[in-house]
Amino acid sequence: MKIYIDGKYYDQKNAKISVFDHGLLYGDGIFEGIRAYNGRVFKLKEHIDRLFCSAKAILLRMPLSHGDVVRAVVETCRRNKIRDGYVRLLVTRGAGTLGLNPNRCKNPAVIIIADKIQLYPAELYERGMEIITVPTIRNLHSALNPAIKSLNYLNNILAKIEANNAGCEEAVMLNAEGFVSECTGDNIVIVKAGQVLTPPLSAGALYGITRGVVLELAREGGLSVAEPNLTRYDLFNADECFLTGTGAELIPIVKIDGRVIGTGKPGPITRRLVDKYHALTNVSGEPIYG
C-alpha cells in the first residue's frame, strides 16, 4: 500500500506523522471518506467541495488547491491499483506545540489512504439491520457544528459504543430537542405512504453526499421527498427505513428499538433505490485510469 503524506508516497510501515500533530493531540483537522467504483472516484468534486467548506469553518488553511487535491486522490488510487475501494482523505492542523493554540501549527498536513472497506456484514444488506436509539445526543450546532467533518468523532464513537454494547451495529442519535438527527456514521431515511422522508440538516444531520444522491434518485423516480423534523414515533411507524453513507452505501433497517419496521424485510422502494444507486456508481465519477 502506498500512502500519500504531504506530496510524497510511503509504504504502510513508513507512513508516519509527528506526535505533535494537532490532529492527533486535539482532533484538530478534517476528513472525507470517498468511494471508488469500477475505476472511477464517485462524486469526487462534491467531496472536495465539502472538505474545503469544513476547512473554512474551522479556519484551517488548505495547503493545496481544489484541483491539486483531486489529482492527489486520483493518483493515490492509481498507485494502489484501486478499481473498487475507499479513500480516506485527511487534513490536519499540522505539527505544533503542547497547547491548543492553532497558530503554533505552521504547516497543515494532507494524508490520503486508498484501500478497501466493508462497514457492515454483507448479509445485513440482504436481510436488513436492527438498530437502537442511544442516550448520547448529537453535537449542538452552537458547540461543534455537525456539518463539519472534523477528526474529533468522539461524540459519534460514544454512541457507537452504546449500540455495540446492546448488540447492534449502528445507533440513532437524537438532537437536544429530541428530534432524530442521524446515525453515528450514516444518514437515516424512512418511507411513509410512498413519501421519502429524512431529517433536515438543521436537526444535526450531516450534509451527506450519498444522502443527496439518493434523494435526487428518489425525485427522478417520481417519489415525493421531504425533510421534516422526525421523532422516534415516526421511525417506528415507517413503512421502510434505510441508512445512507459513503461507507455504508444504502443498507435497509428492519427493526428500531425492538419495533419491526414495515414487514420486517427490506421494502420495495428501498430495493429500487439500491439498484438505482449501484447503477449510477458503476458509470459515474472521476476516471482513475486513462
Instruction: Check which CATH number belongs to the domain holding 230 and give it.
Output: 3.20.10.10
Average pLDDT in the 218-244 region? 98
Q: Is 149 noted as a catalytic residue in this protein?
A: yes
Residue linked to cell 410512498 = 194
- Give the bridge partners for 51, in sequence order: none
Q: Are residues 263 and 151 in the same domain?
A: yes
d(CA 76, CA 289): 11
Which residue among the candidates 43, 149, 160, 276 is catalytic per the annotation?
149
Please give the tally of structural domains in the chain: 2
Question: Is residue 192 in a domain?
Answer: yes
Q: For residue 182, give its domain range.
A: 122-281
Residue 274 has pLDDT above 90, yes or no: yes
Residue 77 has pLDDT above 90, yes or no: yes
CA atoms 181, 183, 185, 189: torsion sign: negative
In which band, very low, low, confident or very high, does the pLDDT at 180 lie, cut at 50, 70 and 90? very high
pLDDT single digits (tens) 13-25:
999 999 999 999 9
Q: Which residues have a Cβ under 8 Å from the Cβ of 80 and sit 6 or more positions away?
A: 1, 2, 114, 115
Q: Are residues 49 and 77 in the same domain?
A: yes
Q: Are residues 36 and 86 in the same domain?
A: yes
Question: Is residue 288 in a domain?
Answer: no
Q: Are residues 59 and 169 in the same domain?
A: no
Q: What is the pTM of this model?
A: 0.95
pLDDT score, position 234: 98
d(CA 36, CA 115): 10
pLDDT score, position 142: 87
Residue 146 has pLDDT above 80, yes or no: yes
Q: If we measure between CA atoms, which residue out of 132, 228, 138 comes closest to residue 177?
A: 138
Q: If we measure between CA atoms, which residue out of 151, 73, 119, 86 comes closest to residue 281?
A: 86
With beta carbons less than 8 A apart as the criterion, state whether 184 and 243 touch.
no
User: Among 61, 85, 115, where does a domain finish?
Assistant: 115
Half-sphere exposure of 154 (CA within 13 A, CB side): 6
Q: Are residues 132 and 201 in the same domain?
A: yes
With beta carbons less than 8 A apart as the criterion, state whether 282 and 38 touch.
yes
Question: Is residue 44 in a domain?
Answer: yes
Question: Is residue 287 in a domain?
Answer: no
In which band, very low, low, confident or very high, does the pLDDT at 46 lie, cut at 50, 70 and 90? very high
Q: Are residues 42 and 97 in the same domain?
A: yes
pLDDT score, position 272: 98
Residue 129 has pLDDT above 90, yes or no: yes
- The rounded percent of the chain whose pLDDT value lies above 70 is 100
Q: In what order do the strands lie in the sheet with 40-41?
A: 8-11, 2-5, 109-115, 85-92, 29-37, 40-41, 286-287
pLDDT score, position 290: 76
Q: Which residues have a Cβ under 8 Å from the Cβ of 138 and sit 6 or more positions away?
A: 146, 155, 173, 174, 175, 176, 181, 182, 204
Q: Are residues 94 and 174 in the same domain?
A: no
Q: Are residues 94 and 150 in the same domain?
A: no
Instruction: Check which CATH number belongs to the domain holding 9 and give it.
Output: 3.30.470.10
Half-sphere exposure of 31 (CA within 13 A, CB side): 18
Question: Is residue 145 in a domain?
Answer: yes
Residue 151 zone, left/alpha/beta (φ > 0; ψ -120 to 50; rest): alpha
User: Among 84, 115, 146, where does a domain finish?
Assistant: 115
**Alpha-carbon separation of residue 80 from 22, 34, 54, 126, 282 (angstroms):** 28, 15, 27, 30, 19
pLDDT score, position 16: 96
User: Among 77, 98, 115, where does a domain finish?
Assistant: 115
Residue 118 has pLDDT above 90, yes or no: no
